[in-house]
Amino acid sequence: MKAPPFAYARPTTLDGALELLSTHADSKVLAGGQSLLPVMNLRLGAPSLLVDISRIPMLDRIVVDDDGAVTIGALVTHTAVEGSADIARHAPLVAEAAPYIGHRAIRNRGTCVGSIAHADPAAEMPAVCLATDAIMISTSTHGDRVIPASAFFTGFLDTALRDDELLAAVRFPASPPGATGSVVEVSRRHGDYALAGLVCRLVVERGTITDAALAYFGVGPTAERVPEAEALLVGSDGRGPALDRAVEAVEATLDPPSDVHGTTAYRRHLAGVLCRRGVADAIARSTEEVA
Amino acid sequence: MSDSTTHVAIGGDITIGCTVNGEAVAVQVPVRTSLSDMLRAALGLTGTHLGCEHGVCGACTIIVDGAAVRSCLMLAAQAEGSDIRTIEGLAVDGRWHPVQTAMHDHHGFQCAFCAPGFMMTAVAMLEDDPNRSEQEIREELGGNLCRCTGYESIVDGVLAAVATLRGAS
């Protein structure tokens, strides 16, 4: 299918883009277009104006602060994320999630920040944001706004962004000492949307978990954390009975959708399996790093 | 661009200037035209095939500025100033690209609807790094669907191309 008609603008300044977004109702930001254009080709969306931000300077930068926080600009592609030594070192879960996204040709055009703004419930990056307490930096003609990930993903393909706002960058805070994590998912074909996936982030001090984040994707209308299971992991070694109880809490809390790819019961089962796998992987890595 | 913004009305046309298979072109198309439709309809380069038109099948894969992309998920408008390569540009002076030769020798394709997408994906992959393991090749080709071969002959072909390119360098 082909996209419905729309107007197209290619501003060369950020102010020019923000002006267009503020004055045109029903406009959409176009970066890589790897989520937006399929939506339009399938006629699931018909914005009246596309604001192509690809020619705006400075949005393609990856910036590392002195404290190790990493800020990824709106035009940084998934392929650039995969190839960045800075991201691999300072935001390892972002680096680990990137190769799971789509296929090479999709990652060459699609952007990390665009995937976050699109907020597909089965996408990896929103869950990475939730697990790492990332900060969304949006901008509009009214100025900048920072939104914590926990308040950003408000519903199916819906975020706290206003129509006139552009998600200019996403900032991943520095990892505390003892931080470890893993990204695990089950999909029918590598690169396809996951039937269920988990971004697990732990802080482990002398074998004891002192902080835990379990951010699931593909199991609800948005990526979501499971605080009930996280609380059961904190204070434990993340193995044996403690892990069993966390798995039970995951299965009791999540209520995944049923569709042609998998039933509710199957996805719930996968979520439990991924909890076991993700926590074990994260702990194994923290032991390796100490050794 | 004289203004800081190129702004086009609904239903209007846009003129795209880009390089296609080494030749500079300027082509006028409706704003909503995908890059694949620009190549096929406006330029007559029908070697780029359209399967799903939402990024799943990979048949429309071409190379833009050195990287494999889905031409169905790129607007013609986004290609302004780009260097585009399609399957029609692979052979030089009538001589096949090593990937084409290897695919021919290994009976890589049956109906061959997916062939242009597979070969452009393979060419981009090997230009990026010619020393690819079978596992890497399988992963990189994972974004392209073939309904005939079961993939084995395609992987064999790319592995043969790797050997040829290694011998040539």
pLDDT at A47: 95
pLDDT at B166: 87
Q: Is A242's Cβ below 8 Å from some Cβ in B?
A: no
Q: Is B72's Cβ below 8 Å from some Cβ in A?
A: yes
CB contact under 8 A, A108 and B68: yes
Residues in chain A closer than 8 A to B69 (CB atoms): 105, 108-109
Q: Is A103's Cβ below 8 Å from some Cβ in B?
A: yes
pLDDT at B1: 40
pLDDT at B2: 39
Mean pLDDT of all residues belonging to chain B: 93
What structural domains and CATH numbers belong to chain B? Answer: 13-89 (3.10.20.30), 98-168 (1.10.150.120)
Q: Is A14's Cβ below 8 Å from some Cβ in B?
A: no
Q: How confident is the model at residue A291 (pLDDT cuts 50, 70, 90)?
A: very low
CB contact under 8 A, B32 and A6: yes
pLDDT at B5: 59
Average pLDDT over residues A166-177: 96
Q: How confident is the model at residue B11 (pLDDT cuts 50, 70, 90)?
A: low
Strand partners, A50: A8, A28
CA distance B37 to chain A (A): 9
Distance (Å, rounded) from C-alpha A191 to C-alpha A224? 21
Q: Is A173's Cβ below 8 Å from some Cβ in B?
A: no
Sheet of A224-225, strands arranged across:
A179-186, A196-205, A208-217, A224-225
Using the predicted structure, report yes or no on whether residue A288 has a pLDDT greater than 80.
Answer: no
CB contact under 8 A, B70 and A190: no
When CB atoms are compared, the residue of A2, A8, A106 closest to B55 is A106
ipTM over 0.85: yes
Q: How confident is the model at residue A156 (pLDDT cuts 50, 70, 90)?
A: very high
When CB atoms are compared, the residue of A1, A6, A109 closest to B31 is A6
In 3D space, the residue among B165, B27, B52 whose CA is nearest the CA of residue B100 turns out to be B165
CB contact under 8 A, B54 and A48: no
CB contact under 8 A, A3 and B6: no
Strand blocks (E) in chain A? 7-11, 27-30, 49-52, 62-64, 70-73, 135-140, 143-148, 153-155, 158-159, 166-172, 179-186, 196-205, 208-217, 224-225
Average pLDDT over residues A147-153: 98
CB contact under 8 A, B70 and A105: yes
Using the predicted structure, report yes or no on whether residue A95 has a pLDDT greater than 50.
Answer: yes
Average pLDDT over residues B88-95: 96
pLDDT at A193: 83
Residues in chain B closer than 8 A to A50 (CB atoms): 75
SS3 at position A196: strand
CA distance B93 to chain A (A): 28
Residue B69: closest C-alpha in chain A? A105
CA distance A270 to chain B (A): 23
> Which range has the worst mean pLDDT, A114-118, A188-192, B70-74, B114-118?
A188-192
SS3 at position B40: helix
Joined tokens for residue A175: 């990892």
Strand partners, A9: A51, B7
In chain A, pLDDT over 70 holds for what percent of residues? 99
Whether residue A119 contacts residue A151, with contact meaning beta carbons closer than 8 Å, is answered with: no
